[in-house]
């Protein structure tokens, strides 16, 4: 027997409760604890440097952090008086509810990730490349140094942001917080007044905030909650790329937060409505029996038989479960992406207009029908060098691009239609390469929500409507240039682009495409009215035709009239 220090599996906490009911399982041939699994976890967004031991991690950290004192070469600042008062209030009033510090840190990290994802809807470059582009939250434990760290790859903070966000606070906000706390004692108020960060001093006596914004250098903010804080350019820690890492040097009485079981419990409790994966990185020492003559094997050999994810079914699996390896083995020559689509059922997805061209060209498409799949696929970017591509989003590449002449011939229609749909959040109208029998579909931006995800989020009891508005992103109307409806509409627009009938028809086509693409109609009454108007036209019924009065209504009207006449006579 010999002792090895091996990392425990990274825990994808935000998906844990969802996955347990649906049987999505990672299968391995190795016995529990006998195989080092980071290669598998790496496929679903493992922490960078995940294969290194605790001693390797410590080497990358600053030697000065153990001193728990402000660095000599740092720029010193005094806390605004209101902040010092606020920290005293939090520490003294919430001492018996220390757990809330983790709720506030997770909430702040989620907000930072939401901000960078929102910016990426209009500028994809802000996400960066490699690990930096992965939007997640990582929690690390260091029992030896008594440090608890939480890191996000969100928008990050500039030097000015660190001073403004962590060193000052509006006096009115502090007064309002104190008043509400005294009157209600509601612990949720700490988040509502934007003062949640300072709850870290319930468990820590020294805090470091390392942050990197795309528009600035990497800086370190540090404080002991003694009325002062310091900021210095970070030249010793590992480059974050982008985002923020908060290091809490825990008090002696707060060592329970270095226990993995305690953190798992709290993260499950406070991450129910967090839309980003949360990983815990810890280590433990286990005994592993190794036969003397056993050959050393690589991680690739040990994990070669693992099915990373059992897929429900696909267009070629005959209704049976399949795996990513099996999918890749069936990929067409020259196919670079793994195609998939999300929805509520296999039967619904099989009829989706997004599959028309793909089926015709014999491409296989994976069906994801479980709500948890939507969350998973936001962070599962690739497998074995193949990128995942949602076929209901922009960026689908199959076959050759449409020739310039064809695009030019529909330029007038696409420009006119885009202007006509300006109030419907349509960013672009373009020629489609994914349609065969359908006149048009509505696709979403690459980093926005799919139609299925929109429905899932709208069904949440505590969903944030403002967040939904920007995560929906812009929509793109793709038209089939070979379809007779689109051809005829082009001719009508060319003849008279101001024709009200043409405008109504174009709006009806868009609303129909919106519904067929899986979206909920924002104004179903408006859609129904257009349908009835179209039916009237096809039946040669005048638009001004009125509905006859019901006989009962006529009798009631006559009775009311007679009653009024009688009352007038009585008066006279």
Full DSSP string of 514-549: HHHTTPPPS-HHHHHHHHHHHHHHHTT--TTPPPPP
Two structure tokens written together for 397: 């590449």
Q: Of 315, 319, 342, nearest to 327 (Cα)? A: 315
**293 within 8 A of 27, measured Cβ to Cβ:** no
Pairing label, strands 2-7, 283-288: antiparallel
Q: Is 68 left (phi over 0), alpha (psi -120 to 50) or beta?
A: left
pLDDT at res. 76: 78
Q: Of 36, 149, 138, nearest to 379 (Cα)? A: 138
List all residues 6 or more positions away from 204 whose beta carbon is below 8 Å from its beta carbon.
Answer: 148, 248, 249, 250, 251, 254
d(CA 178, CA 92): 12
**214 within 8 A of 220, measured Cβ to Cβ:** no
d(CA 123, CA 111): 18
76 backbone dihedrals φ, ψ, rounded to 5°:
-95, 145
Two structure tokens written together for 170: 């509006």
Query: In Å, what is the CA distance from 403 to each residue of 334, 335, 399?
Result: 21, 21, 12
| Sign (positive or negative) of CA dihedral 190, 192, 194, 200 | positive
Two structure tokens written together for 494: 């060319």
C-alpha of 329 from chain center:
30
Q: Of 203, 283, 209, nearest to 249 (Cα)? A: 203
Q: Of 463, 445, 442, 466, nearest to 520 (Cα)? A: 442
Give alpha helix (H) positions in 247-337. 260-270, 299-302, 324-329
Two structure tokens written together for 23: 């049987």
d(CA 192, CA 189): 5
Beta-carbon count within 10 A of 50 CB: 17
Q: Would you give the DSSP letter of residue 127?
A: G
d(CA 517, CA 452): 9
Beta-carbon count within 10 A of 370 CB: 17
The answer to pTM > 0.85 is no
Two structure tokens written together for 59: 């080497």
- pLDDT of the chain, 572 residues: tens digit per residue: 333 333 333 333 333 343 334 333 333 333 333 433 333 233 333 333 333 334 444 444 444 444 455 566 778 777 665 555 666 666 555 556 788 888 888 888 888 898 888 888 888 888 888 888 888 899 998 888 899 999 999 999 998 888 887 766 544 344 554 555 455 444 444 444 345 677 888 888 888 999 999 999 999 998 887 777 889 888 888 888 899 999 999 988 888 888 888 888 888 887 777 888 888 886 655 565 655 554 444 444 444 443 444 455 677 766 677 788 889 999 998 899 999 999 988 888 999 999 999 999 999 999 988 888 888 887 788 888 899 999 999 989 887 776 788 889 999 999 999 999 988 888 899 999 999 999 999 999 887 788 888 888 877 655 555 555 556 667 899 999 999 999 999 999 999 999 998 999 999 999 999 999 999 888 889 889 888 888 888 888 887 888 887 766 656 666 666 666 665 556 65
Burial 245-269 (b: 16+ CB within 10 A, else e): bbbbbbbeebeebbebeebbebbee
Q: Of 346, 341, 348, nearest to 373 (Cα)? A: 341
Q: Of 496, 504, 560, nearest to 537 (Cα)? A: 504
Two structure tokens written together for 482: 């070979």
Pairing label, strands 278-281, 440-444: unpaired
List all residues 6 or more positions away from 319 whose beta carbon is below 8 Å from its beta carbon.
Answer: 313, 346
Two structure tokens written together for 221: 């903010």
Pairing label, strands 386-390, 337-342: parallel
Two structure tokens written together for 74: 């740092």
- Whole-angstrom distance between the N-terminal and C-terminal Cα of the chain? 115
d(CA 104, CA 138): 15
Domains of the chain: 2-287 (3.30.565.10), 307-391 (3.40.50.11260), 401-543 (1.20.120.790)
**417 within 8 A of 506, measured Cβ to Cβ:** yes
From start to end of 185-319, where are the E strands? 204-212, 218-223, 228-233, 243-250, 278-281, 283-288, 310-311, 313-314
As beta bridge partners, residue 211 has 219, 244
As beta bridge partners, residue 206 has 249
Q: Of 68, 88, 80, 112, nearest to 201 (Cα)? A: 88
pLDDT at res. 12: 37
């Amino acid at each position: 027997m010999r002792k090895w220090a091996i990392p425990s599996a990274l825990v994808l906490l935000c998906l844990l409760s969802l996955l347990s009911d649906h049987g999505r399982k990672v299968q391995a041939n190795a016995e529990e604890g006998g195989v080092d699994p980071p290669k598998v976890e790496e496929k679903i967004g493992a922490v960078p440097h995940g294969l290194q031991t605790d001693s390797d991690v410590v080497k990358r950290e600053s030697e000065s952090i153990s001193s728990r004192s402000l660095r000599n070469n740092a720029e010193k600042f005094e806390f605004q008086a209101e902040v010092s008062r606020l920290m005293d209030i939090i520490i003294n009033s919430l001492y018996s509810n220390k757990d809330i510090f983790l709720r506030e840190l997770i909430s702040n990290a989620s907000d930072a990730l939401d901000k960078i994802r929102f910016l990426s809807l209009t500028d994809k470059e802000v996400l960066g490349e490699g690990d930096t582009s992965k939007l997640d939250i990582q929690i690390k434990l260091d029992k030896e140094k008594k440090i608890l760290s939480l890191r996000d790859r969100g928008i990050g903070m500039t030097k000015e942001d660190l001073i403004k966000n962590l060193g000052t606070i509006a006096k009115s906000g502090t007064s309002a917080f104190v008043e509400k706390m005294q009157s209600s004692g509601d612990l949720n108020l700490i988040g509502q007044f934007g003062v949640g960060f300072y709850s870290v001093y319930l468990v820590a006596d020294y805090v470091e905030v390392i942050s990197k914004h795309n528009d600035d250098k990497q800086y370190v903010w540090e404080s002991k909650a003694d009325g002062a804080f310091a900021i210095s350019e970070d030249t010793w820690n590992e480059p974050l790329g982008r985002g923020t890492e908060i290091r809490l040097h825990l008090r002696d009485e707060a060592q329970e937060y270095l226990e993995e079981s305690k953190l798992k419990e709290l993260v499950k409790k406070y991450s129910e409505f967090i839309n980003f994966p949360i990983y815990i990185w810890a280590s433990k020492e286990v005994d592993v029996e190794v036969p003397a003559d056993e050959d050393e094997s690589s991680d690739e050999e040990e994990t070669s038989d693992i099915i990373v994810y059992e897929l429900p079914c696909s267009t070629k699996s005959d209704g049976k479960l399949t795996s990513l390896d099996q999918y890749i083995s069936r990929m067409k020559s020259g196919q670079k992406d793994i195609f998939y689509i999300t929805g509520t059922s296999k039967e619904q997805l099989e009829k989706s207009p997004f599959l028309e061209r793909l089926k015709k060209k014999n491409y296989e498409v994976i069906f994801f029908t479980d709500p948890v799949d939507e969350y998973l696929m936001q962070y599962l970017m690739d497998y074995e060098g193949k990128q995942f591509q949602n076929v209901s989003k922009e960026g689908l590449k199959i076959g050759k691009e449409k020739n310039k002449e064809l695009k030019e011939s529909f330029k007038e229609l696409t420009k006119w239609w885009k202007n006509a749909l300006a109030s419907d959040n349509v960013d672009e109208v373009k020629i489609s390469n994914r349609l065969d029998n359908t006149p048009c579909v509505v696709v979403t931006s690459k980093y926005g929500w799919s139609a299925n995800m929109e429905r899932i989020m709208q069904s949440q009891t505590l969903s944030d409507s403002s967040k939904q508005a920007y995560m929906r992103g812009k929509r793109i109307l793709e038209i089939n240039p070979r379809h007779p409806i689109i051809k005829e509409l082009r001719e009508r627009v060319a003849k008279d682009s101001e024709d009200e009938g043409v405008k109504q028809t174009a709006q009806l086509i868009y609303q129909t495409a919106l519904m067929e693409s899986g979206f909920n109609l924002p104004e179903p009454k408006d859609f129904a009215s257009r349908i009835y108007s179209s039916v009237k036209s096809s039946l040669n019924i005048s638009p001004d035709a009125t509905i006859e009065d019901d006989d009962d209504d006529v009798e009631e009207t006559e009775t009311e009239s007679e009653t009024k006449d009688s009352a007038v006579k009585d008066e006279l």
